[in-house]
Structure formats: C-alpha cells, structure tokens
Structure 1
Amino acid sequence: MAKQMDYATLREVFTRFQAIEPEPKGELEHTNAFTLVVAVALSAQATDAGVNKATRGLFAVADTPEKMLALGEEGVIEHIKTIGLYRNKAKNVIKLSRILVEQYGGEVPNSRAALESLPGVGRKTANVVLSMWWKHPAQAVDTHIFRVGNRTGICPGKDVVAVERAIEDNVPVDFQTHAHHWLILHGRYTCVARKPKCNACVIRDLCQFEDKTT
C-alpha cells in the first residue's frame, strides 16, 4: 500500500485529470433516477457495456417502478438474461420497485440510508446514484478505485470504506464531485490491473507505484 499523497500533490493530480476530462460521466445509460438505480444494481459483476445492451430494451418498456412491476419478474428476466446472476437481479429489481411504489410514492429517495435499504442496493450503488443523479460528492469505491488509490497513493486504504474515507478526507473539496469518476476512468483505461499503461499516464511523475511499466 502506498503512502497517502499530500495536499499539494493531490491538487496537482486532480487538476491534470480535470484538464483531460472536465465533466466526466458515468458510462451506464439511464433516463431518470429510477433507471439509474436499476442499471447500477444490474452492473454488479457485469460490464457497463453488457448492462447497457440489456437495459435499452428494458427501459424502453419500463422506466418507472410502476411499469417495472407491471412487466413482472419473468418479463425483466427476458430482457436481462445476458447479464450474470440475472435471476437474482430480476427478483431484486421487482422488490425494489415495489418498495419505491409502496413507501416512496414511486420516487427514488436521495438519502444514502434509504437507498441502501433497497434490495440489491449496497453502499457503492447508493453512492453512485447520489453522485451521478444528485451531484452529491459521494465516493463509490469499486475495484478500479481501490486499485488506483492503493497503487498510486491518491487514496490508500485496507478496505473500500477506508479508501472512501481517504478520498473524502484528503481530496480537495472542489474536486470531490467528480473524484470517483476520474479515478474509475483512470483505472479502467490507464492504470489497469495487469499491465498499467504508465507511459501514457498523466500522473506518472506523481505516482508512488514502484513497478512502473516502461
């Protein structure tokens, strides 16, 4: 695990990320808060591209909790059966849709605790929704961010909660809203797991990774 970067270095890191991608966007397709919740829940152990392919047809017919309930579990399965764990995910989509209708008037709540109470929605999913839809500076730590954070020293931590806290405590506040998007994109396309593309990395000189590729 790398040592936590100091403030000045972190500011330079995120200044460079911002220069490349001023307004980073999540890659999951959605049209409202509900379809975002469903898409993120479906993305567990699946690729964003695979989820998008499945949800285009699903959201065309069911973009609200009420329509999803009308479609039913078997109807959801027909659309998402190309995604891993699709049966369990379909069950959760129907359950969370019912809760949204019965307890929240069909609206997606915008508190972390309420979101985490929905079936199939964990802390990471809740943070993604809070960040992407409500622009709340919530840090959704996935495998990419965990790897990048510990490898570079941007936000080291022994588990996802520690990494999440390291971002919140150390990254300058003016970069907090987009921090997790920049880190995900960096981990997905540059600081990859097996052979990081250090030669193409904009923060190579600031990164603490000892085994940089040449």
Structure 2
Amino acid sequence: RIEKIIKILNRRYKIKPWKEKPFKILISTILSQRTKDEITRKTSEQLLSKADTPEKILKLSEKEIEKLIYPVGFYRQKAKKIKRLCRILLKNYGGKVPDNREELLKLPGVGFKTADVVLSSHGLLVIAIDTHCKVIAKRLGLTKSDDAERIREDLHRIVPKKYRRIINLLFVEFGKEICQTRLPRCYICPIVSLCSYEPKTCRKLPLK
C-alpha cells in the first residue's frame, strides 16, 4: 500500500531528491523554522549568494546576517546561531557538515528533523519527520504514534529504501495542497481510497 501511495503522489508532484550541498540545506532548514516557505527560499538565497561556506559567513557581522535573513522568524537569534554553527563547523569538522546524526545533533539549531534533512542531502536513506509527515502518516494509518522518533521508526520499517529520500518532500507538498492539518481536502484527494482517516471530508464544505 505504501508504494502505491508514493507512486500516486509522485505522479502528481514529480519530486526528486535534493541535489543541493549539505551546507545549503543545513542553513535553509534552520532559517525555515517558524517561517513560511517563500520567505525561507528568498532569505536563503540572499544569504548564500553572499556567503555560501562557513568561512565566508564568519566574515559577515551579525548585523549583516540579520539584514540578509530578515524577515524570517527570530532572525536575530538565528543570525547568532548561524555564526556559532559556522565556528563549530570550522573548528571541529574542517568546515564540512557532518554526515552522521549524532554529530549533527550537537550543532546549534539542529534537532531531529534538521539532522535527517541534512543526512538525506548527503545521500543517506533516511526519512525526516516534520508536521506534515506526522499528520499524514497518522491519517493514512502508517503509524499510531504522535512521537516523531517513533513515527520515523515506523516509516523506516515500511517505506522501501529507494523512496526514503523523497517521502518527506512528497508529504510536504501533499500537506500544503490537500491533506492540510486543520481541514483536509479529502474531496480532491488522489489517495482517498487508500486512507484510513475518519471522518473524511469527502464533500466540499460550503463557504460560511
């Protein structure tokens, strides 16, 4: 069933694994926290077009970083975090982004989701769990847990390895367009027949 779900969603969204360098993915994911996707994309490009390595970022002042990443949420705290992160990458890892979870989780601003997103950009076959993944996996009956780590384990058990690097990206697009957290649009869902979520909102609700 999971393979069928993934194939249907990928026909719709045509997702490919990330090709960007792990450092770009790491910075973009930190900026994305509590920030809309459009703003994350714009500010990531602004910062990384100016400084795309830890060495170059450390040549910028915190104020310069703040200006480049504004208006992301908590931009002042994130500017400090990014500078601290780059110092650690240079001091402890020779300016490279680690490719193991334990080391990534030691970095400022890096939690489980960010670590797994970065590991995926390194080419490792892992599934990053964000809000979309949590909600959709539970609605589809792929997990019974609300805990991100348990959901990750459940999905790793059932998702074929060849799809692990794209399933999060598929669920993000699907969650934004159709399987929305507050009110899923089940009436246009291409996988509604494979879904165990109840109650399904299979008819379009009238506007109030």
TM-score strictly above 0.5: yes
One of 4, 28, 32 as aligned partner of 1:12: 4
CA distance in 2, matches of 1:179, 1:186: 10
Q: Which residue of 2 aligns with 1:56?
A: 45
CA distance in 1, matches of 2:161, 2:50: 40
Instruction: Say whether the 8 Å CA contact 1:156–1:162 is kept in structure 2.
Output: no
Q: Which residue of 2 aligns with 1:208?
A: 196
Q: Which residue of 1 aligns with 2:143?
A: 155
Instruction: Say whether the 8 Å CA contact 2:2–2:159 is kept in structure 1.
Output: yes
- Stretch of structure 1 that moved more, 178-187 or 42-51: 178-187
Q: Which residue of 2 aligns with 1:32?
A: 21
Aligned-residue offset at 1:31: 5.0
Percent identity reads 33
Q: Which residue of 2 aligns with 1:5?
A: none
| Residue deviations 1:7-32 (CA, integer Å, cap 9, x gap) | xx222212222333443456xxx953
The answer to whether residue 177 in structure 2 is matched with residue 189 in structure 1 is yes
Change (3 A) 1:22 1:81: closer
Aligned-residue offset at 1:78: 1.3
Give 1:18's aligned amino acid: N
* Aligned length in residues: 202
CA distance in 1, matches of 2:191, 2:20: 34
CA distance in 1, matches of 2:20, 2:163: 25
Change (3 A) 1:201 1:117: same
- What is the TM-score of this pair, normalised by structure 1? 0.87
CA distance in 1, matches of 2:176, 2:143: 16
Give 1:111's aligned amino acid: N
- What is the TM-score of this pair, normalised by structure 2? 0.90
Structure 2 residues not aligned, in runs of 5+ = 204-208
One of 170, 193, 199 as aligned partner of 2:187: 199
One of 105, 119, 124 as aligned partner of 2:108: 119
Instruction: Say whether the 8 Å CA contact 1:137–1:178 is kept in structure 2.
Output: no
Q: Which runs of structure 2 are paired with 1:66-85 in the superposition (5 Å)? A: 66-85=55-74
CA distance in 1, matches of 2:78, 2:107: 12
Instruction: Say whether the 8 Å CA contact 2:43–2:68 is kept in structure 1.
Output: yes
Aligned alpha-carbon RMSD (Å): 1.7
Instruction: Say whether the 8 Å CA contact 1:130–1:136 is kept in structure 2.
Output: yes
CA distance in 1, matches of 2:163, 2:56: 37
Q: Which residue of 2 aligns with 1:177?
A: 165
Instruction: Say whether the 8 Å CA contact 1:50–1:83 is kept in structure 2.
Output: yes
Change (3 A) 1:64 1:155: same
| Residue deviations 1:92-119 (CA, integer Å, cap 9, x gap) | 1000100111111111111111111111
CA distance in 1, matches of 2:93, 2:118: 16
Q: Which runs of structure 2 are paired with 1:41-52 in the superposition (5 Å)? A: 41-52=30-41
Q: Which residue of 1 aligns with 2:155?
A: 167
Q: Which residue of 2 aligns with 1:4?
A: none
| Residue deviations 1:149-196 (CA, integer Å, cap 9, x gap) | 112213331211111111101223332232222222211211001221
Task: Give the secondary structure class of the aligned counterpart of 1:166.
Answer: helix
Change (3 A) 1:15 1:81: closer
The answer to whether residue 89 in structure 2 is matched with residue 92 in structure 1 is no
